[in-house]
Amino acid sequence: MRSWLNNIQWCPGCGDTLIIWAIKKAFEELWIESHQRVVVSWVGCSWKASQYIDWYAAETLHGRTLPFATWVKLANPELTVLATWWDGDGYGIWVWHFIHACKRDLDITYIVMDNENYALTTWQASPTTPIWAKTKTTPDWNTSEPFNPIAIAQNAGCRFAKTADSIKFVEMKEIIKEAIEHKWFSLVNVRQACPSYKRW
Ligand SMILES: Cc1ncc(C[n+]2csc(CCOP(=O)(O)OP(=O)(O)O)c2C)c(N)n1
Ligand code: SF4
Ligand SMILES: [Mg+2]
């Protein structure tokens, strides 16, 4: 068992573990070493992402993942910059940063761990919650159509926007590699298993 796996603090079966593993493998296979890369993240269940990979890491203020990643890229264009965010904050509370990052089109790889709910705050509906799903804030059912991050990214000018699935490991890793190699802004929306709350 690899040492970082002994220290996982997510719920058993959480897709975050596989996503981090895929990112680590992608860097390994692309020969991008730890001193050449940086990950930017902020609070959410997946926040710990940056702690499990040996790289430069920034855990920023609430909502500042993409602005911070932008500053890092502008300050040192040689670095491979990867920003991790989540559906509730990335597509809800702080969505405008996402739209402007697509428009700006800098070379940042943006991985969204999309578990279709606000998990850390214990199961509220997020922009990607399915229309019929029950959550704490939609006790009968959700009445809003889910947000389509791929279409929104493309409409905002992003030229690489793909969906992956945390249970399809090899496919997810290959999409992450493609996104890192794309020399402009790229979005990978990973549909993430969340056994504790995503029961649809
Ligand atoms: C300034 C501020 N506002 C709100 C919160 C509460 N908060 C913690 S995590 C989170 C979002 C969780 O949902 P999501 O972004 O989908 O991440 P997940 O936990 O599902 O991975 C929120 C709103 C906070 N920590 N700080
Ligand atoms: S609540 Fe969901 S997203 Fe959070 S650690 Fe548990 S399984 Fe993972
Ligand atoms: Mg979420």
pLDDT digits (tens, 9 = 90+) for 124-154: 999 999 999 999 999 999 999 999 999 999 9
In a domain, 139, yes or no: yes
Residue 69 lies in domain: 3-191
Ligand 1 site residues, Cβ closer than 6 angstroms: 43-46, 62, 86-89, 113, 115, 118-121, 126
How many CA atoms are closer than 13 Å to the CA of 36, on its beta-carbon side?
Answer: 9
In a domain, 157, yes or no: yes
For atom 6 of ligand 1, which residue has the closest CA? Answer: 121
pLDDT of residue 14: 95
In a domain, 197, yes or no: no
In a domain, 19, yes or no: yes
If one counts the domains in the chain, the total is 1
In a domain, 123, yes or no: yes
pLDDT digits (tens, 9 = 90+) for 82-110: 999 999 999 999 999 999 999 999 999 99
In a domain, 200, yes or no: no
CATH number of the structural domain spanning residue 179 = 3.40.50.970
In a domain, 196, yes or no: no
- First vs last Cα of the chain: how many Å apart? 31
| Structure token digits, residue 100 | 């402007």
Local confidence band at 2 (pLDDT 50, 70, 90 cut-offs): low
Find the DSSP H helices in 56-165: 65-75, 87-88, 95-104, 149-155
Residues paired with residue 112 on neighbouring β-strands, in sequence order: 85, 189
pTM of this structure: 0.96
Contact 52, 84 (CB under 8 A): no
| Residue 124 alpha carbon, nearest atom of ligand 1 | 13
Rounded-to-integer distance, Cα 75 and Cα 105, Å: 16
| Residue 16 alpha carbon, nearest atom of ligand 1 | 21
How many CA atoms are closer than 13 Å to the CA of 2, on its beta-carbon side?
Answer: 10
CA of 62 to the centre of ligand 1 (A): 8
In a domain, 144, yes or no: yes
pLDDT digits (tens, 9 = 90+) for 176-193: 999 999 999 999 999 999
- Residues in the 5 Å CB sphere of ion ligand 3: 86-88, 115
